[in-house]
A and B are shown apart, each in its own frame.
Chain A
Amino acid sequence: GAGVSQTPSNKVTEKGKYVELRCDPISGHTALYWYRQSLGQGPEFLIYFQGTGAADDSGLPNDRFFAVRPEGSVSTLKIQRTERGDSAVYLCASSSGLIANTGELFFGEGSRLTVL
């Protein structure tokens, strides 16, 4: 497809379990972002990749969260020992370059994570 693809669209897990969320950005987009959105809130920045490297991971809440982008395309957000407070919609976005230059982040539909 032409847009940002995220899988799964919905994930229900139990407290303490491990989850992986996948993002397939628009082909050729070098920048990839992960955001988290709770109900009634704006997207909250988690991590930003430029190519394969994490250029800014200052938004990751703690060391249970980790993200990779090994080949500079697909990215996986990994959450260990999930907690109920991790429940949210995890949004992935990509852009063709620096956001101040290109302007636009293309968001995926998100992965809704529910931790019971």
Chain B
Amino acid sequence: QQPVQSPQAVILREGEDAVINCSSSKALYSVHWYRQKHGEAPVFLMILLKGGEQKGHEKISASFNEKKQQSSLYLTASQLSYSGTYFCGTERAGSYQLTFGKGTKLSVIP
């Protein structure tokens, strides 16, 4: 039931774009994205509810395709501060808790 994230890791130069994908085999109610820097707590980025609405957060946006049970996180014009591990968390209807993927490690270099 754990969502599958891809890629596992990606290295970008400052200013480049990246896409991180998250897919589930189960019907989802919502998808949440978090970023965790080494040795720190995960920090909330955004939530996408069933309905396919795309959300944005500065230069980070995401989409949710409920028919395919897939979500994608889009990072544009990456900055050094974007480095970290990105986790998607999926919520099934009535579960009230998140199941997290294994994460995608993003490294932004100058």
Contacts and interface: CB of A to CB of B under 8 A. Distances in A.
A55 B96 contact: yes
Interface string A30-46: 01010100001111110
Range for the number of chain B residues in contact with chain A: 20 to 34
B44 A98 contact: no
Contact of A45 (B30, B44, B99): B99
Contacts of A79: none
Interface string A1-30: 000100000000000000000000000000
Which of B41, B101, B103 counts the most chain A CB atoms within 10 A?
B41
B19 interface: no
Contacts of A85: none
Contacts of B95: 56
Contacts of B87: 42-43
A57 to B, nearest CB: 10
Nearest to A31: B96
Contacts of B2: 42
B91 A99 contact: yes
Contacts of A100: 29-30, 47, 49, 91, 96
B40 interface: yes
A109 interface: yes
A: interface residue count bin: 20 to 34
B103 A107 contact: no
Contacts of A43: 42, 87, 89, 98, 100
A53 to B, nearest CB: 12
A36 to B, nearest CB: 11
Q: What 3 pairs between A and B have smallest CB-CB spacing?
A: A42-B100, A107-B41, A103-B47
Interface of B: 2, 29-30, 32, 34, 40-44, 46-47, 49, 87, 89, 91, 95-103
Given A56-B95, A103-B44, 10 more contacts: A31-B96, A40-B102, A41-B103, A42-B2, A43-B89, A45-B97, A48-B96, A99-B96, A103-B32, A104-B47
12 contacts: A4-B41, A35-B100, A40-B103, A42-B102, A45-B98, A45-B100, A48-B97, A56-B95, A99-B91, A99-B98, A100-B47, A100-B91
